[in-house]
Chain A
Amino acid sequence: MTLHRNCDGTTRRDCIQLGIGGLLGGGLVNLLRARGESAAAPSGPQPTADRVILIWMDGGPTHFETFDPKPDAPAEYRGEFSYVRTSVPGVLYSEHMTRLAGLLGECAMIRSIRHNQGNHGAGNHYMMTGAPPRIPVGCGAYVSFHPSMGAVVARERGPDNGLPAYFSMPSMTRSGGPNFLGARYAPFVVPDDPNSESFRVRDVALPRALAGARFDRRTRLREQIDRMVRLNSEAAGDPVATFDQYHEQGYNLVTSPEAQKAFDISREPQDVRDRYGRNSFGQRCLLARRLVEAGVPFVTINDGGWDHHRELFPALRKRLPAWDNTVATLICDLKERGLLERTLVVAMGEFGRTPRISTLPDATLPGRDHWANAMSVLMAGGGTPGGTVVGATDRKGYAAVDRVLSPENLVSTIYFKMGIDPGKVLYTPQGRPTHLVSDPTPIRELI
């Protein structure tokens, strides 16, 4: 801790030494990590986004029934859904994505990301961190070998106002953790349902039992009781002094009407709440908008249940219209508020789904299975050129064939937009240098 404080500013030589510095390990590692941060800052890309809302479609959403329909393919590929025309001539979405189809002018659609991790655990890790899992990973596994995008953004870009910098709702995604960056960059999980009447953002909103005078009374009391001597010199490295700063930040957050407004979804006009959809997903997207509005740089909505091995069509007939409506509302709402320009919205999952429809032996209705050779990723805002369609899959949706891209490219793009150099070197607590993304090439069409 002392080291960090004493190391203000980074000299040119320090930067040059970073390469060998990483080998030092020892107590220096943290110092180096701190330097690594400042060393990269001047060379980092110019940010075009300050906030990210990541809609994580856990389970692996089908590309056919969402953004990449294949109306000309044989029925066993095409499926039961028809298509809609988007606002970009010649580009089709699946039939339930009606509102988003009309919004393609504000969005980019990437159809050619592919990788080779066909199970949930590994696919989650790859898409969420930009790093393939280091060892074979099982399907249902929850693994973390590398920091997730949210944790990296929390470390590099925030928080600037005492708010937790990385929110995840209603749970952390499988590989959404900070890994070696440390617990400080773990997501702040909001498990409760904002669609419920009694919803509050845990911990940042005052518990009901403490409303009003009682909290003030307690706060005053705490001040009177607190007698522990502080070592008020930076050189002393007193963790209690650091604790005080955080306590004050927390207190300000809880007592600041502006901050509290951000968490209080009930202040949202009824019609806005209705527009987002009166369901958990809809209200989470609305809350995400409120959070980015308040300055939170990374919000993940862990939107599960896309693993449609069976009953694909009835399930999606039910789900997609509301989903389409919510995501479209989010994008429009951000735009109306002037936030879309600096807020990047991304919707994706760990992979796409098999081209050929099949019925599992114990199922009655067909579905599609895991398929990492093709998937669709939706992006909007944060300097993303609207109306962009990147890449394409083949006629039957088997594989990305045009402008084939990797999870590394995608994750690099998100970092790049956030002003984070995807090629920067991070130091593990072991002192080992590791690249943030091993192939730091962003997708140029999206910049």
Chain B
Amino acid sequence: MEIDFQNDVVPILTRQGCNQGACHGKARGQGGFQLSLLGFDADFDFDAITKQARGRRVFPAAADRSLLLAKPAGRIPHGGGLRLPADSAEYAVIRNWIRQGMPRRAPEAPALEAVSVTPDSVVLAWGQQQALRVTARYDDGSTRDVTHLALFQSNEAPIAAVDESGLLTAGSITGSTAVMARFMGRIAVCDVLIPRPEPVPDEEYDRLPVRNFIDELVWQRLKQLHITPSERCSDFVFLRRVTIDLCGRIPTPEEVDAFLTDDRPDKRARLVDRLLDEPDFADHWAGKWMDLLRPNPYRVGIKAVLNYDHWIRRRFHERMPWDQFVRELIGARGSTFRNGAVTLYRDRRTPEEITTLVSQLFLGVRLECARCHHHPFEKWGQDDFYHFAAYFGRIGRKGTGLSPPISGSEEFIFTGTAGRVTHPVTGQVMEPRPLWGTLPEPGDRDPRDVLADWITSPDNPLFAQVMANRVWADLMGRGLVEPVDDFRATNPATNQPLLEALGRHFRDVGFSLAELIRTITASHVYQLSSLPNERNLADTRNYSRHYRHRLRAEVLLDAVTAVTGVPRRFDAMPPGATAKQIWTHRTPSLFLDTFGRPDANQDPPCERTKDLAVVQTLHLMNSEQIIRDIHDDASTAARLAASDRDAAGVARDLYRRIYARNPTEEETALVAEVLNAPDVSRREAIEDLMWAMINTPEFIFQD
């Protein structure tokens, strides 16, 4: 049989890991031998093997003495160890290829067209096994079983593991995962679903309330998994949850009182309507985008950062539709002193840098890999990258560029008539082209506007889905796709129909953030309790219960301030400003640093981690500042102590203020006991209570 280099030899190198990123596939190779990453460039690999190293890698006359065989077979020391035993079938294939004189192409070798895996979705019981088969289809209509040459990877091995032969083994965790099979740069995915062993009668699902499409689609998923949802959360949990989620603050004692005594059946919806109209709503949600967009002021200048902040914040206060926000940002032009949005282009100065940012933020497509090599687990290659980058090729800059650390001067961003983007390898001038679909030539229009129209088009489902997924993640504690900006076939959503429905809904309400949030918070799913039942304790992906999370740094700081009643002063902010309104991470705050705001020096800006750490518990416990605020003469504790409230009144105030609920009888009794303790003054007792409550998870977490 004639051996084809591309179809027969490269897959072996890939399967054995020779060309992976940690070995010969990295940019400087290994031991002087470099292959293209995961075999994406067969020409490159062919040259490396047959022409470099003075031909020592292959000896047609004595094939076994070729370095290509002798090293991985262990006959000559090899840093990568034994990879190709001399008696293996793969060894034989490469030996035959060398003996045949190393043809680049076998005559009439077909080209690979597609790869599929069977089955492509499977439901397994705990511990059950299933063999996967990978089939390659070629352009001559032939197919080939390439299971033995494919690489398998499970997204979540504890749910379903896969071995090198493609044998799936379900674990004993209810859930779903994707298992990927790769062959020659093509990917096929098998969706694996592992339900709970005990089925649940259909009637249980029929009885579940359906307030909108979200409930319907989540219940469908839970039905497949034999999971049932938790109870609906109580009013006080809902009040605190939704106030934190929507406005980034805790409810006031007055709000608690009003909400808990309200007996109108639609009071939850009314509450949401009221919160969505608050300025805090805009500041809270703008802050999330500031995290992603805000550059280092030492780089672009403090004025540009301030203007950028104002630009973003104002649009959230105006409730600007998301598509319009993105169009204005991508098409931004003018002076850094007048139009904050152009700070994007002051900061990101090459088409390449802009490309990675825009594609990731607004399309959920991570193109960074494709800048230098074919994206290993995606379809994107360098062509795609530089065609996309070409939309930013004509950006012009006038005025004074970056002059760190002050960078104080004005710069103008405009679209010129010249400017082009070339492919770094071929040198070819790249035409602007979107990542999928087609677009007419920009002609007289600014190419950025053309691109922005394409990105934000109602016909581009990804644009709406990416934002809907972010919002969903913020409200539900976990994105349907995680990380929230990494959309690809190999990282499927935990509930694809729901993701699509949310995207459509977001588009249909005119890309209104507030409307999307109104819909999500109206669902029964959003209003579930975090307390599990016997069936859903282990569910951390399918929204059968609410997932708790720690309050974000700014929210927690504002909450502490709301409790102590002693406002914090922030540099470069007017008195009375909240942490949510801070416009640069340069504003010093030990509290915010401790609870994880991004490092102001970091480039690029990135998602915050939700890490918990001992320094956080220590800070709440021992921070001199927090203690001072609690003990301050103007603090809530001092005022409560001076009031004539009885123990029940003090308990009610503290519990409403800190936990957004009324104390139980037992808790009231405890407060009375503390207040009546000998040797402790009334004020000290209230300070102690306040400190203790601030240090409990009921304050620190959103439940």
Contacts and interface: CB of A to CB of B under 8 A. Distances in A.
Contact of A25 (B486, B548, B612): B486
A228 B703 contact: yes
B89 interface: no
B601 A144 contact: yes
A24 B155 contact: yes
Interface string A4-27: 001100000100111111111111
B292 interface: no
A267 interface: no
A23 B486 CA distance: 12
A353 B550 CA distance: 48
B615 A188 contact: yes
Contact of B405 (A13, A24, A138): A138
Interface stretch (A234-242, A299-307, A309-317): A234-242
Which of A25, A159, A183, A249 is the most central at the interface, judged by chain B CB atoms within 10 Å of its CB?
A183
A180 B696 contact: no
B606 A429 contact: yes
Contact of A3 (B156, B402, B407, B688): B156
Interface in A121-160: 121, 134-135, 137-145, 159
Contacts of A357: none
A425 interface: yes
Nearest to A26: B491
Contact of A26 (B486, B602, B606): B486
Interface stretch (B50-58, B95-103, B130-138, B619-627): B619-627
B698 interface: yes
Interface residues of A, number: 92
A7 B299 contact: no
A236 B689 CA distance: 30
Interface string B662-703: 000001001000100000100010001101110111101101
Contact of A226 (B488, B597, B616, B698): B698
Contacts of B615: 164, 188, 203
A174 interface: yes
Contact of B614 (A31, A162, A239, A430): A162
A116 interface: no
Interface string A94-138: 000000000000000000000000000100000000000011011
A28 B179 CA distance: 12
B577 interface: no
Contact of B688 (A141, A205, A221): A221
Contacts, number: 263
B112 interface: no
Given A138-B299, A239-B701, A29 B376 contact: no
Contacts of B689: 221, 225
Interface stretch (B327-335, B427-435, B530-538): B530-538
B417 interface: no
Given A240-B701, A246-B612, A143 B688 contact: no
Nearest to A29: B483
Contacts of A28: 155-156
B198 interface: no
A186 B599 contact: yes
A347 interface: no
Interface of B: 17, 20-23, 25, 38, 151, 153, 155-158, 163-164, 173, 182, 296, 298-299, 366, 368-369, 376-377, 402-407, 482-483, 486, 488, 490-491, 530-532, 537-538, 540, 547-550, 590, 593, 595-597, 599-603, 606-619, 621-624, 627-628, 631, 667, 670, 674, 680, 684, 688-689, 691-693, 695-698, 700-701, 703
Interface of A: 2-3, 6-7, 13, 16-29, 31, 121, 134-135, 137-145, 159, 162, 164, 174-175, 177-180, 182-184, 186, 188-189, 191, 202-207, 209-210, 214, 217-219, 221-222, 224-229, 231, 233, 235-240, 242-244, 246-247, 249-251, 253-254, 425, 429-433
Question: What are the 9 tightest A-B residue pairs by CB atom distance, in nearest-first order?
Answer: A138-B404, A140-B405, A19-B20, A183-B596, A19-B22, A23-B376, A26-B491, A235-B538, A6-B158
